[in-house]
Amino acid sequence: MGNPNASSASVDSLMRRLDHAASVENAKTICRNIKDVLMEELGNRRVRIPEEYLAPVTTGYARRLLYKDHASRFSVVVMVWGPGQGTPLHDHAGHWCVECVYEGRIRVTSYDVDHERESGVLFKKADSVVSGVGAAGALIPPFEYHTIENPFDERAVTIHVYKGELTWCHAFEPLDDKGWHRRTRRALVYTV
């Protein structure tokens, strides 16, 4: 995959804008700033992600580190979704995140915690949206429970900007048909 900080001129320009957007202290303001930058840059198709980041994989969605801020304030990850690929219900381990569609379309479904007990978590579906190129959303804890999927017949690519570097999350495995899930810690790795 090469050096995760090596990129084309358009990606370098995007990273400079994201660096400026993340230069404030408040998470809501950072997310709003980053969302505005991504919607403008990706929506107007100004950014060209290098081809080596865009290859799908058959074992699940691809997750590739595009950039990691030298001060560890944020990281930028490219995710590639083949038709039918998606995530389990998961959180972001307390990290804020801004997600934007680079290519294709995705469906994001958000969930709220209805009840929690030692044996599991009861979720209720809050919202589901289909997003195309340039559409972006922000997840700021405690609002962070969601799934992402590509139910369409074409590849989709999303750009995710995380607080710091997201190396693990909680995934939630269904326990029954009533909405109860078991929480498990899942390591997040990069695709080569």
How many angstroms separate the CA atoms of 27 and 73, rounded?
Answer: 11
pLDDT tens sequence across 127-176:
999 999 999 999 999 999 999 999 999 999 999 999 999 999 999 999 99
Topology (CATH) of 9-187: Jelly Rolls (2.60.120)
Task: Read off the pLDDT of each residue in 89-117 and give the average, rounded to a whole number.
Answer: 96
Residue 123 — pLDDT band, cuts 50, 70, 90?
Answer: very high
Task: Quote the pLDDT of residue 5.
Answer: 46
Asked whether 31 and 98 are in contact (CB, 8 A), the reply is yes
How many angstroms separate the CA atoms of 74 and 65, rounded?
Answer: 11
Cα angle 41, 161, 110; round to 5: 105
